[in-house]
Amino acid sequence: MVTITGYEKRTGENGDFFLLQLQGDLEFAYSQKTGQPYATARKCVIPCTFNEVVCQASIGKQMRGSIIKMAVEPYEYTVEETGEVIEMDYRYTYSPQEEVIDEVQPARTEPTLV
pLDDT value for 44: 97
Going residue by residue through the chain, which has 114 residues, state the pLDDT in tens, using 9 for 90 and above. 999 999 999 999 989 999 999 999 999 989 888 889 999 999 999 999 999 999 999 999 999 999 999 999 999 999 888 888 999 999 999 999 876 554 444 444 444 454
pLDDT value for 87: 92
- The answer to whether 68 and 95 have CB atoms below 8 angstroms apart is yes
pTM above 0.85, yes or no: no
Q: Where are the domains of the chain?
A: 2-95
